[in-house]
């Protein structure tokens, strides 16, 4: 398997009081920073409001991958693209007009991505593949970092990889990714890995990003 690999650390479990510092520990080793936006409606947790998120996006030394876990995502998604996020991910469960929203994200210069919660199956969403640059298969219920990796999502990752076929779409997994689980997800077809607590609870977060990458780069 020789696929390009991307490691996108989530700052959800980083120290929010000194984010610049936390980001500087991993920016040299990471492909993108994964920014989790939660509104306490779509998921039972709240992170950054738009203003703080925009500030993070504009200060971040590497591209930002915004994962929007918010209700009424259709109108909000475009704002993140405008704010400079390199990639904007909407949950299919939260969007009213998936097609238009994905198109709008791209029209505003960002990569467009769609995410699926563990209980949502992929079949009916492959019709949007011509409009996405990445598909995110959640490997935990969205809302919190530090949860256990759901191995039972691997058949869905495999199926998504098959449905993607030759298209240049990244396949991302998010939730419970660590040195113990990343290979399983890679083997199932993922090429873009979010890791939150595994990275920020490590003694050397930058080294952990490298170790995760190495784990899936040896064929």
Binding region for ligand DX5 (CB under 6 A): 10, 12-13, 34, 36, 67, 140, 142-147, 174-177, 194-198
Q: Which does 177 bind (CB under 5 to 8 A by kind): Zn ion, ligand DX5, none?
A: ligand DX5
Site for Zn ion in 161-180 (CB under 5 A): 174
133 is catalytic: no
The one catalytic residue among 36, 65, 133, 191: 36
* Contact (Cβ atoms closer than 8 angstroms) between residue 111 and residue 86: yes
Spatial separation of the C-alpha atoms in residues 204 and 167, rounded to whole Å: 36
The one catalytic residue among 31, 39, 174, 191: 174
Site for Zn ion in 70-89 (CB under 5 A): none
Spatial separation of the C-alpha atoms in residues 157 and 149, rounded to whole Å: 13
Closest chain position to Zn ion (CB): 67
- State the nearest-atom distance from the C-beta of 147 to ligand DX5, in Å: 5
Cα separation values, 45 from 13, 41, 88, 100, Å:
13, 8, 19, 27
Angle at 94 between CA 80 and CA 66, to 5 degrees: 30
174 is catalytic: yes
Intra-chain end-to-end CA distance of the chain, in Å? 6
Q: Does 156 bind Zn ion (CB under 5 A)?
A: no
Q: Does 39 bind Zn ion (CB under 5 A)?
A: no
* Contact (Cβ atoms closer than 8 angstroms) between residue 154 and residue 188: yes
Footprint of Zn ion (CB under 5 A): 36, 67, 174
Q: So which residues are the catalytic ones?
A: 36, 174
């Amino acid at each position: 398997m020789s696929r390009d690999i991307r490691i996108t650390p989530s700052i959800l479990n980083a120290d929010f009081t000194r984010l610049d510092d936390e980001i500087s520990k991993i920016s040299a080793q990471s492909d993108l920073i994964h920014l989790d936006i939660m509104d306490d409606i779509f998921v039972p947790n709240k992170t950054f409001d738009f203003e703080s998120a925009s500030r993070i996006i504009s200060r971040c030394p590497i591209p930002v991958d915004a994962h929007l876990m918010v209700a009424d995502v259709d109108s909000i998604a475009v704002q993140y693209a405008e704010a400079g996020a390199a990639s904007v991910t909407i949950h299919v469960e939260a969007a009213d007009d998936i097609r238009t929203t994905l198109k709008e994200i791209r029209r505003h210069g960002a990569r467009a991505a769609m995410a699926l919660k563990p209980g949502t199956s992929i079949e009916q969403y492959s019709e949007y593949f011509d409009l996405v640059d990445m598909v995110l298969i959640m490997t935990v219920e969205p809302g919190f970092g530090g949860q256990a990796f759901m191995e039972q999502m691997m058949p869905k990752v495999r199926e998504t990889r098959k449905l993607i076929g030759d298209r240049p779409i990244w396949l991302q997994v998010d939730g419970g990714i660590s040195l113990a689980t990343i290979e399983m997800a890679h083997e199932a077809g993922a090429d873009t890995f979010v890791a939150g607590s595994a990275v920020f609870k490590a003694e050397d977060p930058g080294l952990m990003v490298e170790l995760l990458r190495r784990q899936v780069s040896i064929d």
